[in-house]
Structure formats: structure tokens, C-alpha cells
Amino acid sequence: SEFSADLLPKLPTAHDSSSTDTLLADLNHHITTVNAISQKPGTVSPETAEDLKEAGRALWNECIKEKRKQNDVLASPLKSRLLVRTRLFSFLVNVFARESLRGRRGNGEDDAVAIINQGLMLAKVCITESDLDAARLGLAKVTTYIDKLRQLDAENHIGPGHRLNIEAEYLTMRCALSSKEDRLDVAEHMYTKADNLLCCLDPFSAEHLADTLQDIGTNLSGKGDHEMALKWLRRAHALINGQELERLSTEGLEIRMVIHHDLIQTLLATRSPERVQEADDLVSYVESEIGDKPVVLHWKLEILQRGPSEIFDVDACASILRRMVRSMDLSDATLGFLLHNINELRERGSRLAIGLLDELLLTRLLPCGNMEWIGKTLVRRIWMGTMENEASDAATRLIQLLEQLAEDSRPCNIDNDQLTRYLMFKVSLISWDHDLGRQCVEFLSKSSEKDRSRDILYACVREAQQLGDKLCTLEALKAVTETFTADSSTVAAAHLPSVLRCAIRMIHYIETQDNQGADQVSVLIQDTCDVFEKGNYLSILTHIAAEHAKSDPRCENGNKIFTVAELEWFRKNAYNVGLMAMRCHFVMAAAIVSNARTEDKVDEALQRYLEVRQHVAIFDGLFENHFQSILAARNARVYTDLTAKMSTLFVFDFEGAICLKNWDDLGQIIRKVRVCKDEKMYKAMGDCLLRSNASGQVVYTNLRLIINEIFALEQFDNQRLAKYLRCMFHAVLPLDDSLSLQVVEQALQIARECSQMQKPFPTDELDWIVVTTFNHALDIHARGDEEMCQQWAHKALALAEYMSDRGDLKDVLRERVAKLCLGKGTSTSTSS
């Protein structure tokens, strides 16, 4: 623990090689020590083990922060090795601490899963940094816990699917290590063991495993072993392609594209005609998915250039370069690439090359106004013109080009033609340029020729539907509705209701897209019913007695039949009967809930939950009307017992309301249970809500209400408030973007207030919220919603202001925001 505390502040400041060497030697000594004592768990006190666990976590997080730093001149190989070794040390400390705590709490399974996940992450980092000794040690620990995990009870919360994911990832990491050690036979053996597990993976695990397999193939290709590289890259390709594309994350889609790229490059590197044809087929497959993206055009061009020169297709090459001219984002590197390849084309087809340069100048460079680019390209164009065999024809065309350039700008009235806008809309569909499509339909909707524009917009709707672009379809439908005026013809106006219905349905469609012991229970229920019937009978008798007492009956001597003592006895019986009734309702509700949870028939289960809610309502009514005020003052023990039972019942009521989809009742239940003053009850309700299929609005509203009630009860500190915010954000994020953004805004406000009060927002929770917010911005960016993406990205940047990392995370996010603004269409998720 002392060494960890001493090492933590030295990691960011380990500059010179001598100090790093000394620190690394000391670190290696402690790694050996902690690895040796970890063979004897339980040798430290629980308090010391908790301190060690926290120290290991702090070191691990510090290594992640150091990794995030950009342009770090001190990031030498020695510094990288220091960070890798620090991760190994923190992992071993964590393993030792958890082993020491094992047996004192019932979380052995959670510990095993946590250690395995951390060990696999460590192994990946070590293999990447070529620290194979550290990778072997980490995987040796993982092997032990994999075996322990297999021995645990079959009925555990991670489920067999999760366990298969873990084992598959472990075996794949063993493949990567063996490949790095040039032991391909061992890697092949490990893959054979993992092969049967790969078909059972969830998309998230499949992404990580495909990434690892791709790394193996890429490393082999870099060593010149293209045949073996192809085997591993094809495995990665088969694994990632075996997942449903819509279930892959943004990072997963990028991994898939990288696998395609490496596989194509390796196929081309073999220089085999069959492999080149296979690469061409793969490129065509990717093109059918994403269209003429720059990366696809790059591949196509490279395949053409790798082919035999005697069968080189000049027209195909010119077509690819023309599409590149039209679609690629301009930069110094892009322009240099285009000029180089156009010059290569000139040797086979000079007229085509000159035509490409003319198009590049007139359609791309002149509108952007970059004189350096224009000058460089014009010089190349003049040079090509002077190299033409037919000098007079070349000179004429060159003069025409110069005259056109001298006009300084093209006439813009062409863009204002309706048919031109229709053609531009079709282009926007092919290139998935929603901004251009929106501009076109907006222009058409505002045109003075309403009838003609409406007909063209109908055509736009059809085109967008055929290509499956829902956003552009909706934009076109909305634009159609704007063309209807009071002066519209009766025939045209007759279509307005249909258009409105279609638009509304499309909005809804887009929103929906984005968006054992059974016998024992029966016996228990029967026994409870018997008790309940008896309690009801006693209740009836007591009620009759009370009614008679009101009439003041007397005996023949004139004495009261219901004396004070008699009435007191009935009062006590009424009290006891009331308590019995409440306890019967409690037991009935608990038994019926148990029955409802195991009921296979949905209708029967819902009927049981309805009965549960009725019992809870009766219990609540009896308590509120007859016992709450009396017991609070006279019998604290019974009052405590009833409130504890009521806490449980309200959780049942909450569960029943969710199953019955009585969403409006949830808030009433949460407010009603304040009298119980039970934090665990609120947490149980929150857990039930999180496991439900409620809408984002329902989850957000009620989870926020639960957190407020817990705060009113406990007055917790910033640490717990941050955890609750994180929980709410994690729950609402997959359901509703706007509500999630409200949670982020609340987190930002709290972080700002905490900063002003010199009580910083907890770093780990803030780090998670910032990274998750930014990653969600990237997901929104991938869907094409630039405006919403910017909102999320800016919120992430604003939150990063309050990170206590000297602006490291903020700098990383700002750089990635800048990349997004370039419109490349690609992004890399922020991750630990």
C-alpha cells in the first residue's frame, strides 16, 4: 500500500530515463513480491485488503489517464513499459485484495468476473506493447479464475451466455499471445478450443474477439506470412459478419471496416489472380452496403493498379477518380493523392486525365477559393496541355478553361431550377447527404409554382422510400404539406389528410426504430386463505358487537350489557383483528406475488398481480385510516413492524403496476411510501423500474422521484448523488435522447455547484458520464443527426471542464470534436 501511494504521483512525472529505470526496477521487485504473497490469500485484515483494492484501482485509472495524453514527448518505449508494468502490479494487487476478502462476503462470483475482465484487458495491453512476460502472468491468473467460475453454482446472475463470452475472449487472447510468441501451432490449438463458443457470442464480445483476431492477422501480414494472415483475417471477418449489423456499436462497425481493409490488402499482397478477384468481390460487397465512400474508391483504385498493365481498364480508373473528385473532402493530402493518380492516368489516357483536372478545378477548387490549391492544380493542367500531341486542340481547350476560371464564379441560377433540385435530391440519397436533401425539399416547398413543386416532391418521397432513407422521406412529406394553401385546388387538397397521416406514421415509425417450489407456494396460499377467512369471520363478529353497543342495550335490571370493560375487550379484539387482517393481506400478497412470478400464462400472471395490488390497497387503507396515528404514539414496536411490512408490500405494488403497465400509478406509489422511511424499499423499486420495459419518460420521471425521496431520507453526500445520477443516466440513455440530455444537464449543474463550493464532483463518476456522453454523441453522429450530435458533444466538453486531470480528457474530446466537424463520417469511441 505504501509503495502504491508512492508510485501514484510519480507516474505523470517520470521524465528522464534514469529515474524511470530506477522506478521500473523497484516496480518489478514489488510485482515479484505481490505475486508470491498472492499464493497465500487471507494473510491481511479486511481493512488492509480494502485499502489495497482501492490503491490498485487508483493505479489502474492513472495509467488510463496517462494513456489519454496526446503529444506527450515523454511517451518513450521506457515510459510505455513503465505504464504496462504498473497495470500488471495494480492487477496483482487487486487479485490479492479480492482473494483476501473472499469468504467474508458473498461476492465470489462477482470477484471472479471482475478479475477475469481486468486480466483480459491487461493481457491485450501487454501484447500490444510486446511485454509478453506480463501477458503470460496476467493470463495465468485469468486461467485460475476461469476454472473457479466453472465450478460456481449453475444458477448465478451472469448466466451461461456471459460465461461463454468470457471463455471465448480468454481463449482468443491466448491465441494472440501464442501468435506473438511465434507459436502458431499453440494459437491454432487455442482457436480450435474457442471455435465452438464463437457462435454463442453477444455482439459486444464478438466485436472484441474479432478485433483480437484481426490484430493476429495484421501482425502476420506485417511479417510477410500472408497465407497464415489470411486464415486469421478470414476468421475475424466471419465472426464480425456473423453479427446483425444493426446490433453492432459504432466501434464495432469501425472494426468491421478495418478487417475488410486488412483482408483486402493481404489478398492483394499475395499477387495471385484468384486472390485479387476475391479482393474485388469483397470490395463490391462493401460497396453494396455503404455506397461510393472514399475508402471503397481507394480499394477499387488499388485493385486496378495491382492488375496486369496490359489489361488495365483506363475507363474504369477514370470513373473511380471522377467519383473521388466529387466525393472526397479536400485537404493538402487529398489533393496530392488526386494529382498523383491523375498524372498516372495521363500515361494511358491523357484526355481523360485532362478532363478530370478540369472537373477538379471547376467543381471543387474554384468554389472553395483556396488559391494555393488552384495554382498547384492549374500548373499541372497547363503542363498536361502542353504535353498533348495535338497542340492546337489542346491549346483551344486550355484557353476555354482559363476563360472560365477568369469569370471567378459560375452562374448560380442553375441551382434554382426545380428539376435540378430534384436531381440534387437524388444525389443526396445516393451519398446519404441529409443536409443537401433537406435543402432541396425546402427549396421546392417554398417555390411559387406550388402544383409543379408538389408533383416533384411526391417523386422525392418515392425515391427516398425506395432507398430506405426514412429521414429524407419524412422531410419530403413535410415539405409536401407546406405546398398546400387555401388556394390549392380541390383535387390537390383532397390528398392533404392522407399526406398528414403518412407523415405522422413515419414520425412514429422512426421513434420506434430509435428507440421450482410451485407446490410449496400452493400450500402456503391455501394455509393463508384459511387464516384469512378466520380473520374475516372475527372481524364480522367484532363489527356486529360494535353496532349493538351503539344502541346501548340493557339487561332486565337496567344495567348496560356492554360495560366499559366489555367495550375495552372488544376494542382490543378489534385492534387485534385489524392487525391480523393486515398481516393476512401481507402474507396473501407475498404468496400471490410468488405465484405470479412463476406463472407461465401471461393472462394468469397479470390477474395475480391485480389481486396483489388489491391486497396492498386494503392494507394501506387499514393502516392509514385506523393504525397510523394510534400506533405511532402508543406502540412503536408494532408500528415499526407494520411499516416494514408496508415497505415490502409497496415494492410488490410497484412491481404489479409495472407488469400491468399502470405507469401513472408509479409516482403515486413512490410518494405514498414516505411514511415507511426505508431506503432499501426505494432501491428495490428502482431496481424493478430498471428491469422493466417502461418508456424513457416513465423511467426518467420515477427514477428521479426515487432519488429525491432517498435524498430527503438520507441527505447523502456528493459521492452517492453522483452514483445515483450515473445510474439514472445509464437507465434513460438507451430509451430517450432528450431525457438523457436533461440528466447530463443536471450533472453539469451539480458539477458546477460542487466546483464553486470547493467540493469537486467525484472524479470516477464524472469521468464515466463525460465519456458516455461523448460516445453517445458519436453514435448520434453515425445516425446522421449532426445538430443533436453537437449538443451532446458540447455537453461532454462542458462536463470535462470539471475533471481534475489538468484538462487531459477535455483536450482529447476537443480534438475528436474537431475531427467530427470535418465530416469524415468516421469516429473512434472514447474508452478505457
Of the segments 71-75, 161-165, 255-259, which one has the largest average pLDDT value?
255-259
Q: Are 686 and 699 in contact (CB under 8 A)?
A: no
Whether the per-residue pLDDT at 806 is higher than 60: the answer is yes
Q: Which of 751, 756, 709, 760 is nearest to 726 (CA)?
A: 751
Residue 801 has pLDDT above 60, yes or no: yes
Report H helices in 328-449. 332-346, 350-359, 366-368, 371-386, 391-406, 418-431, 434-445
* Amino acid symbol at 285: Y
Distance from C-alpha of 745 to C-alpha of 773, rounded to nearest angstrom = 11
Give CA–CA dist 190/173, Å, rounded: 9
Give the distance from CA 747 to its chain's centroid. Answer: 19
Report CA-CA distances (Å) from 12 to 64, 142, 282: 11, 29, 45
Q: How confident is the model at residue 161 (pLDDT cuts 50, 70, 90)?
A: low
Kindly tell me if the per-residue pLDDT of 536 is higher than 50: no
What share of the chain has pLDDT > 90, as a percent? 0
Q: Quote the pLDDT of residue 500.
A: 63
Ranked by mean pLDDT, the top range of 457-461, 523-527, 575-579 is 457-461
Name which residue leads in pLDDT, 98 or 503.
98
Other residues' Cβ atoms within 10 Å of the Cβ of residue 597: 13
Q: Give the model's pLDDT for residue 564.
A: 67
- Which pLDDT value is given to residue 74? 46
Closest CA to 217 of 245, 238, 198: 238
* Per-residue pLDDT tens over the stretch 406-417: 454 444 344 455
Residue 355 has pLDDT above 70, yes or no: yes
- What pLDDT shows up at residue 689? 84
pLDDT at 412: 39
**What pLDDT is stored for residue 373 in this prediction?**
83
H or E element in which residue 80 lies? helix 77-101
Hey, what's the cell of 173? 487472447
Beta pairing partners, 560: 554
Taking the C-alpha atoms of residue 734 and residue 798, their distance in angstroms, rounded to an integer, is 22
DSSP helix/strand/coil, 554? strand
Cell of 794: 458540447
pLDDT at residue 51 tops 70: yes
Most confident of 95-99, 370-374, 592-596, 635-639: 592-596
Q: Which of 214, 293, 75, 348 has the alpha carbon at shortest distance from 826? A: 293
Mean local confidence (pLDDT), 134-161: 74
**Range with the poorest average pLDDT among 96-105, 122-131, 387-396, 604-613:** 387-396
3-state DSSP assignment of residue 45: coil
Helices 636-659, 602-622: inter-axial angle, 10-degree rounding: 150
Least confident of 364-373, 455-464, 508-517, 564-573: 508-517
Q: How far is CA 316 from the centre of its chain?
A: 41
**Residue 142 — pLDDT band, cuts 50, 70, 90?**
confident
- pTM exceeds 0.85: no
- The contacts of residue 423 (CB under 8 Å, 6+ apart) are none
Mean pLDDT of 483-508: 61
User: If you average pLDDT over each of 192-196, 308-312, 715-719, which comes out highest?
Assistant: 192-196
Q: Residue 285 pLDDT > 80, yes or no? A: yes
- Cα(538)–Cα(811) distance, integer angstroms: 74
pLDDT level of residue 822 (50, 70, 90 thresholds): very low
Least confident residue range of 213-217, 584-588, 621-625: 621-625
> Do 584 and 528 meet the contact criterion of CB atoms below 8 Å apart?
yes
Above pLDDT 70, what percent of the chain?
Answer: 77
Mean pLDDT lowest among 78-87, 378-387, 468-477, 820-829: 820-829
Residue 49 predicted with pLDDT over 70: yes
Mean pLDDT, the chain, whole residue set:
77
Q: Which residues of 314-336 are buried (b: 16+ CB within 10 A; e: fewer)?
A: eeebbebbbbbbeebeeeeebbe
Q: Any idea which fold 202-283 has?
A: Methane Monooxygenase Hydroxylase; Chain G, domain 1 (1.20.58)
What's the mean pLDDT in 201-218? 86
Indicate the range of 162-171, 328-337, 480-489 predicted with least confidence: 480-489
Higher pLDDT, 420 or 343: 343
**Rounded to an integer, what distance in angstroms lies between the CA atom of residue 413 and that of residue 416?**
5
824: which strand partners? none
> Considering only CA atoms, which of 668, 745, 667, 661 is closest in space to residue 704?
667
Average pLDDT of the segment spanning 747-758: 82
Average pLDDT over residues 195-204: 79
What H or E segment, with its residue span, contains residue 539? helix 518-550
Asked whether residue 209 carries a pLDDT value surpassing 70, the answer given is: yes
Q: Span 324-349, mean pLDDT?
A: 85
> Which fold is adopted by the domain 563-716?
1.25.40
Q: Is the pLDDT of residue 522 over 50?
A: no
Give 598 or 366, the one with higher predicted confidence. Answer: 598
Q: What SS3 string covers 559-580?
A: CECCCHHHHHHHHHHHHHHHHH
Which of 73-77, 531-535, 641-645 is predicted least confidently?
531-535
Check residue 629 and give its pLDDT.
64
Q: What is the pLDDT of residue 152?
A: 66
**Banded pLDDT at 393 (limits 50, 70, 90):** low
Is the model's pLDDT at 830 over the cut of 50? no
CA distance 710 to 554: 56
Quickly state the pLDDT bin for 715 (edges 50, 70, 90). low
Taking Cα atoms as reference points, which of 18, 178, 142 lies closest to residue 82?
18
Q: What are phi and psi of 42, to 5 degrees?
A: 85, 15
Pick from 156-160, 371-375, 697-701 the range whose average pLDDT is largest. 697-701
pLDDT of residue 527: 42
Place of cell 448466466: 159
pLDDT of amino acid 551: 56
User: CB of 608 within 8 A of CB of 599?
Assistant: yes
Three-state DSSP string of 789-820: HHHHHHHHHHHHCCCCCCCHHHHHHHHHHHHH
Summarised one tens digit per residue, pLDDT across range 542-551 is 454 455 456 5
* Of 336 and 528, the one with more pLDDT: 336
- The number of angstroms, rounded, from the C-alpha of 86 to the middle of its chain's C-alpha atoms is 29
